[in-house]
Amino acid sequence: MTDSTKHLLLVEDEPALRTAVAEQLTDRGFTVEQADSGEAALAKLADFAFDAIVTDLRMPGISGSELVDAAIERYPDIVAIVVTGYGTVKDAVEAIKRGAADFVSKPFQIDELTHALESALEQRRLKSENVYLRAQLDERYSFEGIIGKSPVMRKLFQLLETVAVTNSTILITGETGTGKEVVARAIHHNSPRRAQRFVALNCSAIPETLLDAELFGHVRGAFTGAVGNRQGRLEQAHKGTLFLDEVGTMSSALQMKLLRVLQEREFERIGDVHTVKVDVRVIAATNSELGRMVAEGQFREDLYYRLNVIPVELPTLRDRKDDVPLLVQHFLDKLRGDKPGPIMTVSQEAMRALMAYSWPGNVRQLENALERAVAFGGSRGQIELADLQPEIASTRADASTPGVFLPEEGLELDVLIAGIERDLILRALDRTKNNKGQAARLLNLKRTTLVEKIKRLQR
């Protein structure tokens, strides 16, 4: 069933006015979510793709104009209506120049606001091919092809910038589809070894009997079929970077040989007696829990610590769903390439489903889903809900409740709640540049309560 409800975010710091307007807009068919400040509105925008936002211009903290800028930057398809008081019409006109659809002046009749909303929503529908014209990806939201601006991704970018210039061995962990090889390439291209080769080897894609020769090479006659000398991936990566994906699938014998390379920086080709010296940076990756495998005797403990010098853990897509709009536009631009024709866009209804879905296959699954949707969208120029796969299209988002992934094996509720509280406090402090007073207002807490919670987090 198509979700035809019009989702609206109402931002107003006067409680009585906000409640009255919300009730009247609800009576006129809108699903209204309320926010009492620009900071609270930004938090809601991070979790849900609203069709429209109605905001007062003059508010403490983040102003209505700044909020409109942020909303349009995140969702170029969103309709923004600004509410002005006496003497702020000039500001309203400026907001329209920057992307707001219309403005209404206080005091206003609800029919005036409703008409402005309906007109702007209809214009958006008619001009859908221009929806994402403003959604140009800024370099500060990417790191060598890795896209994101959520707090967890900004921390990842900082970590990658720090470790890239070192020569240390790195272990990248994360679920399938989170982009482990993309991250490894980003580290290489920002390292002093960037002018040398980046050599990748998927340890799970090659039979164990061939993996030894593929990694270390062989000499002529070493085994049946070895008709000549052959360099292995280690030699090919000399002076550069060797990326070993799914390193947890290596046999014990290969683990021992890799350990020697990491310790001594030397090895022998299969069938050879001569030692080969090698200067190579190793970046390993796995979607397995190597720590658990060590405890169960399935992976060498000494190799684990040699690989895990600098751990890099990649977040799942469901843990950074506020990055979905950026990723969607990135992949649509990538799919379009240099082809002529209109810019491909995504309806807000489809975007809500994309943001609400849990994405077990992570970023890779999102890219594949969009490729399919583009094919189904044909020449329409816009991806609709019906173009998405049924399991994605049937997902429904709640504007007021953040999504929580419930694994089949269950979870520890107290730990989850504590983690959510910690994350929200850190996000509030990050958004307010560590201003505890503003962060407390954003979380609807007393400042003293927030300070006590921060102290507990630091213990």
Supply the CATH number for residue 436's domain: 1.10.10
| One domain for residues 169 and 309 | yes
Q: Are residues 325 and 298 in the same domain?
A: no
Sign of the alpha-carbon dihedral angle for 24, 26, 28, 31: positive
Report whether 267 contacts 218 (CB < 8 A): no
* 20 and 114 both lie in a single domain: yes
> Do residues 377 and 237 both lie within one domain?
no
φ, ψ of residue 159 in degrees (nearest 5): -65, -45
Closest to 162 (Cα-Cα) out of 182, 143, 140? 143
Does a structural domain hold residue 98?
yes
pLDDT tens across 113-143, in order? Answer: 998 898 888 877 765 533 333 333 334 455 7
Q: Does 306 share its domain with 212? A: yes
What's the whole-number mean pLDDT along residues 39-48?
91
Q: Are strands 146-147 and 281-286 parallel, antiparallel or unpaired?
A: unpaired
Of 356, 379, 359, which Cα lies nearest the Cα of 369? 359
State the Cα angle at 370 between 44 and 188, rounded to 5°.
85
**Phi and psi for 11 in degrees, rounded to 5?**
-120, 115
Q: Is residue 202 part of a domain?
A: yes
Q: How far apart are CA 298 and CA 255, in angstroms?
A: 11
Percent of the chain topping pLDDT 90: 46
- Select from 286, 313, 340 the last residue of a domain: 313
Does any domain span residue 197?
yes
Specify the DSSP element, H or E, that contains 77. Answer: none
Query: Which CATH number do you get for residue 101?
Result: 3.40.50.2300
Residue 37 lies in a domain: yes
Domain-embedded: residue 426: yes
Q: Is residue 402 part of a domain?
A: no
What range defines the domain where residue 255 resides?
Answer: 165-313
For residue 215, CA distances in Å to 221, 231, 247, 375, 406 come to: 17, 9, 12, 40, 39
**pLDDT, average across residues 302-314:** 95
Residue 427 has a pLDDT of 75
- Same domain for 171 and 225, yes or no, is yes
CA-wise closest residue to 100 among 124, 121, 75, 72: 72
Number of separate domains in the chain: 4
Q: Looking at residue 355, which CATH number applies to its domain?
A: 1.10.8.60
- Asked whether residue 60 falls in the same domain as residue 118, the answer is yes
Helices (H), 61-133: 64-74, 89-97, 110-126
Give per-residue pLDDT as tens, 415-436. Answer: 667 777 877 888 778 777 778 8
Beta strand 310-313 with 217-218 is unpaired
- Does residue 154 fall inside a structural domain? no
CA dist 317 and 413 (Å) reads 21
| Sequence-distant (≥ 6) Cβ neighbours of residue 70 within 8 angstroms | 42, 45, 62
> Counting runs of H as helices and runs of E as strands, what totals does the chain give?
19, 18
What is each CA distance from 6 to 51, 95, 407, in whole angstroms?
Answer: 6, 23, 31
Question: Tens of pLDDT along 205-264?
Answer: 998 878 988 999 888 766 767 667 888 899 999 999 999 999 999 999 999 999 999 999
- CATH assignment at residue 267: 3.40.50.300
354 shares a domain with 215: no
Q: Which of 126, 154, 176 is the last residue of a domain?
A: 126
Residue 130 half-sphere exposure, CB side, CA atoms within 13 Å?
A: 6
Same structural domain, 298 and 172: yes
Instruction: State whether 186 and 101 are in the same domain.
Output: no
Interval 45-68 mean pLDDT: 90
Q: What would the two tokens of residue 147 be?
A: 């896209």
Nearest one of 205, 204, 159, 168 to 186, comparing CA atoms: 159
Lowest mean pLDDT among 79-83, 120-124, 249-253, 295-299: 120-124
> Which of 280, 313, 346 is at the close of a domain?
313
Q: Do both 172 and 301 map to the same domain?
A: yes
Within-domain flag for 422: yes
Across the range 433-447, mean pLDDT stands at 83
Paired tokens of 375 = 């094919």
Do 308 and 324 share a domain, yes or no? Answer: no
Helix axes of 110-126 and 15-27: crossing angle, nearest 10 degrees: 60
Q: How deeply is 225 buried, as exposed, middle or buried, from its count of CB atoms within 10 A (0-12, 13-18, 19+)?
A: exposed
